[in-house]
Amino acid sequence: MRLTDYTDYSLRVLLYLSVRPAGLSTIQEISDAYGISKNHLMKIVQQLGDLGWVETVRGRHGGLRLADRTRALTIGDIVRRTESDFAIVGCFAGGADDRHCVIQPVCRLRGVIAAARDAFLAELDKHTVAELSEPANELARLLGVAGMAPSPRSPSMAAVSPDGSS
């Protein structure tokens, strides 16, 4: 199974924030660390905020941080909420997108593929954001956040703007 870039980037944002729990980060910092388009990350951060996994702070010293409960989320939870389509083959789609296949009434492949998808998600359910953010010091070093001073925190919580300002 191949995850979408959207899910990949969502996981990367959460891992980045998990190794910098003491301060706020900006979308630009995350973009620079991973070499990912800032515009792609803005949409992702908005959804992560809507899900309550990321807290956003507006204002001059604004940014984002991992919500307290997010470290306990399983990777399976995240993938299920960020992947738009688990229809691995056309006959899984359902509705108008369901591709009819002449062998569908007796096809066992569909069941095998469904079992493989379920096993994939079950494996992801065994691992949390906290677990995958270790070794935190090494990840922070690779992401360029090692030794970063915590940013001031603003009491105003709201939707994040592209540069962390209001």
pTM for this one? 0.79
CA pseudo-torsion sign 100, 102, 105, 107:
negative
Q: How far apart are CA 70 and CA 83, in angstroms?
A: 18
pLDDT number for residue 157: 36
Residue corresponding to tokens 């300002």: 165
Domain architecture of the chain: domains with CATH: 5-86+128-143 (1.10.10.10)
**Which residues of the chain, if any, have pLDDT below 50?**
149-166
pLDDT number for residue 78: 98
pLDDT number for residue 164: 44
pLDDT number for residue 12: 97
- At 99, the amino acid letter reads R
- At 146, the amino acid letter reads A
pLDDT number for residue 110: 81
Tokens of 125: 């359910």
Q: How far apart are CA 105 and CA 132, in angstroms?
A: 42
pLDDT number for residue 86: 72
